[in-house]
Structure 1
Amino acid sequence: MSPSSGVSARCISCVPTSCSLCRKCFCYLIFDTANQLGELLRKMILKLYSVFLSEDGKQVDYKGMKASDEFKTYTNMTRELIRIDIKSASREEKIAFFVNIYNALVIHANIVKGPPSNMYSRYKFFNNSKYIIGGHPYSLQDIENGVLRGNRKGVGQFCNPFGKKDPRLEVALVTHEPLIHFGLVCGAKSCPPIKTYTAEDIYKELKVAAAAFLENSDGCQIDMSNQSIQLSSIFKWYKVDFGSNDKELLEFVADHMGEGQKLTDLQTLMKKGTYRLSFLPYDWSTNSKA
């Protein structure tokens, strides 16, 4: 990647062979902040998505991506993650960086390992698919529950991802961010659409993603005749992130739902207090594009 890319980095240790990032001076690069390398990776990921992602962001052409030069370039770039200075990143930079990296790692792992087909293989997939970031390994579980959820227990976990002496604890958000659940895509059909996110507008972008997910039938369904509210199982698994009870959970949903009939119906049921709340089955089948 030449200096004209608009992302600055310091060249060190010139060597007589080219690396994945600097073809002009044949140097290795070290990035001063997560946002610098994160932005480079985001642009590369965006390029991949523009070719191999369905228009609605719900399906991935894994087979086509695997054979592409763009994917080879991306995999080479991920080797530079070991050099990144992630500790000094801002909260906004961390959220954008790790959401983008999580989604890209899911796709990368699907291509290399194949999609998980049952509960046990999903456990292995999310715990064993890793990137080395800033000198430390981060699995999909580590990124979601350790970093973005502020070191909270994940589904099926008996303890927090990072112990008190784990250096990755310094990278974790001080407080969890509930909006990340509308940006993270685990490779299943019931997940939100895949997008990329920027540090500058991360909260605005995630709120847009939340509104779109709640408008979709995978995120929320309301039946006025039965006075029933059905939410994605994401709200059941991570309920602690959205509120301490059903009322607070629904208040969060209403606050992040776009204007329209669905919001009006939800507010009507909440005001009556006679609704029945349940959670939709999660479709774990792969989001592979046929």
Structure 2
Amino acid sequence: MTDPLDGRDDGVGRRSRAGDRPPSTDPTTLARELLERVGRGEPADDHLRTLADLSRAALEPLRSDRRAALAFWLNAYNAAAQLLLERNPELFDSRWRFFRAEALTVAGVGLSLDDIEHGVLRSGRSKYGLGYLPRLSRSGLPKAHRLEPDPRIHFALNCGAASCPLIRSYGPETVDAALDEATRTHLEATVDYDPDRDRVRVPRYCLWFLGDFGGRSGLYAFLREFDQLPEGVKPSLRFRSYDWTKTPRLFA
């Protein structure tokens, strides 16, 4: 598999390292370049400024292209989280402050990690209430930017904790296949099905965001889809504890 942080197709047929040219003004390419620079430990200020200076019109394509929007926001979140850990590591001592601190500016709008994950990627759903409740606070972006919740994002977003999934770089054309791979990889490492005891242990995300999976029946279907449960079984669910030990730069 190609190293996601090495030279690669940027989604428009070019192969090069992000540092070989000025930042792209295409949002999806720009977010991907930003993440890849962060992964290599290269300066990212030019990319951050370009992202902040984008016009609202430049973001319009994201409102009608789900794959481009998904790739953009996944890359933006993971880059923002890593930069926040690097530049303000003390915030991680208080998860309340860490997830609510301004982490990235997109088209003039300051966004927190919660704004990106729950305001955009989860379509304005609260991180409380098992994924069923609406989020009361606003992200600052129009509602048209909200994406329908996709449970696979929980196996792609990395906030810097030890239990977080590995970070990958996403492109619009391959985002669904890459999300499937990220989900399968993480589930294979964290799901433990015991047919003798009729129980299965799953990642904590599956409890925190049970509504994103479609409830318990949806979660069973999801686990079967990714080959973690055989057809026809509904074992007792157990949810793993979450290791919040700060562990930045977990790149695939």
TM bracket (short chain)? 0.7 to 0.9
Could you tell me which residue of structure 2 aligns to residue 81 of structure 1?
A: 51
Q: Which consecutive unaligned segments of at least 5 residues does structure 1 have?
A: 9-19, 24-28, 52-64, 258-262
Distance 2:99 2:38 in 1: 22
Instruction: For residue 42 of structure 1, report the CA deviation from its aligned partner.
Output: 1.5
Q: 1:82 to 1:210 in 2, by over 3 A?
A: same
Instruction: For residue 123 of structure 1, report the CA deviation from its aligned partner.
Output: 1.1
SS of corresponding position for 1:282: coil
Counterparts of 1:241-280 in structure 2, within 5 Å, are 241-244=212-215, 246-257=216-227, 263=228, 266-267=229-230, 271-273=232-234, 275-280=235-240
1:203 equivalent in alignment to 2:176: yes
Could you tell me which residue of structure 2 aligns to residue 228 of structure 1?
A: 199
TM-score (norm 2): 0.79
Q: Deviations over 1:168-205 (max 9, x none)?
A: 323212x2222211111111111111111111111111
SS of corresponding position for 1:87: helix
Bigger radius of gyration: 1
Distance 2:241 2:127 in 1: 19
Q: 1:76 to 1:281 in 2, by over 3 A?
A: same
Distance 2:173 2:117 in 1: 21
> Which stretches of structure 1, 4 residues or longer, exceed 6 Å deviation after superposition?
5-8, 20-23
Q: 1:132 to 1:161 in 2, by over 3 A?
A: farther
Q: Deviations over 1:37-58 (max 9, x none)?
A: 4314423532542x4xxxxxxx
Please point out which of 130, 144, 169 is paired with 2:143: 169
Q: 1:281 to 1:141 in 2, by over 3 A?
A: same
- Assess if the C-alpha contact under 8 Å between 1:243 and 1:252 holds in 2: no
Counterparts of 1:57-206 in structure 2, within 5 Å, are 65=41, 70=42, 72=43, 74-84=44-54, 85-89=58-62, 90-114=65-89, 116=91, 118=93, 121-155=94-128, 160=135, 163=138, 167-173=141-147, 175-206=148-179
1:230 partner letter? R
Q: Which consecutive unaligned segments of at least 5 residues does structure 2 have?
A: 1-8, 13-18
- Assess if the C-alpha contact under 8 Å between 1:87 and 1:170 holds in 2: no
Could you tell me which residue of structure 1 aligns to residue 35 of structure 2?
A: 45
Instruction: For residue 82 of structure 1, report the CA deviation from its aligned partner.
Output: 2.1
- C-alpha RMSD of the superposition: 3.0
Instruction: For residue 225 of structure 1, report the CA deviation from its aligned partner.
Output: 2.8
Distance 2:183 2:155 in 1: 5
SS of corresponding position for 1:187: coil
Q: Deviations over 1:98-117 (max 9, x none)?
A: 10010111110001111655
Q: 1:167 to 1:184 in 2, by over 3 A?
A: closer
Distance 1:7 1:216 in 2: 30
2:225 partner letter? D
Q: 1:248 to 1:162 in 2, by over 3 A?
A: same
Q: 1:115 to 1:155 in 2, by over 3 A?
A: farther
Distance 1:6 1:288 in 2: 25
- Assess if the C-alpha contact under 8 Å between 2:71 and 2:175 holds in 1: yes
SS of corresponding position for 2:60: coil
Q: Percent identity?
A: 26
TM-score (norm 1): 0.70
Q: 1:272 to 1:214 in 2, by over 3 A?
A: closer
